[in-house]
Amino acid sequence: MAQVQSKGRFSGCLLASDIDGTLVSDGRIPQRNLAAIRRFTDEGGLFTLATGRSIESARRYAEMAGVNCSAIVYNGAIGYNFMEEKTLWQESLPESAKILLPPILERFPDVGVEVHSGRKLFVLNHTPDVDRHVVYEQLELIDMDYDAAADEDWTKVLFAMGKTDRLAQLHAYCEELSVTGCYFLKTADCYYELTCDGVSKGAALTRLGSLMGVPPERIFAIGDYYNDTELVEAAGVGCFVETAPAELRALADYVACSCEKGAVADFIDELGQTLSGQAAVFR
């Protein structure tokens, strides 16, 4: 892990990046991003991840990227320090969320269902879509039925459905359900999640910034999808990549190039110019 420098252009700054479609393309971090992140941390910046992935799934990218402060995982439900192997906070779904699963499974027997419980992953309905997700994120799973899983502590539920029409039907059905203490969130074109009320990447970024003593105007964030909306809006300077939906790009202070071309590096370069300009004004 990179070491934080006490002085430098990015001293006192916190930059949080989404993983998939933002930092990582086809499972790899573009070299341009790695070089820029190293410059950012060498010049005093705090770089971290804000992702829907689990602790173990995010770990290899935290190590590859040189994350040097606590990370945001499970879309903000958990704050985790990979350097110290320490959980800063953890939010769990209420018991009321668990009773939503049986009717969903009955109505949509073809939807893959993963129940994430801290570091553990229980698969309640095994489908090819779940298999692809597990392989892509290199997850270790436990096949389990609903009754056994209901006794566990739930961090989030992920529904995997590769057929867009069926995912739309699932979305419409879930929107009509009466939920207390939780909400549904589309996190990718084939994933739909159930998470706790009050949990989001944006809320987690604000929480992390406060814990790290970073003022709001020195907090930066970059993402590419709808579950990054709160993250980008919570930042002092927020960025979406150019492949993000148009309505999201309109919310950003800056639009970076595509993930494949090095979006995080593009954003860091822009921040460097902005901060240098600010320093020049006050000299």
Check residue 278 and give its pLDDT: 62
Q: Are 63 and 29 in contact (CB under 8 A)?
A: no
Check residue 277 and give its pLDDT: 63
The torsion angles phi and psi of 86, rounded to 5 degrees, stand at -130, 135
Residues 6+ apart with CB under 8 A from 6: 44
Cα dihedral angle (234, 239, 244, 245), rounded to 10 degrees?
A: 60
Around Cβ 219, how many Cβ atoms within 10 Å? 23
Going by C-alpha positions, the residue among 20, 31, 19, 42 that lies closest to residue 272 is 42
Structure tokens at 41: 């941390």
**35: which DSSP letter?**
H
Check residue 274 and give its pLDDT: 85
* Measured distance CA(146)–CA(150) in Å, rounded: 6
Q: Are 45 and 8 in contact (CB under 8 A)?
A: yes
Check residue 279 and give its pLDDT: 47
Q: What is the block-wise mean pLDDT of the chain (283 residues), using blocks of 10 residues?
A: 60 97 95 98 97 95 97 97 96 94 95 94 94 87 93 96 91 89 90 95 98 96 96 98 97 97 98 73 27
Its pTM surpasses 0.85: yes
Residues 6+ apart with CB under 8 A from 122: 114, 115, 116, 141, 142, 143, 144, 148, 149, 152
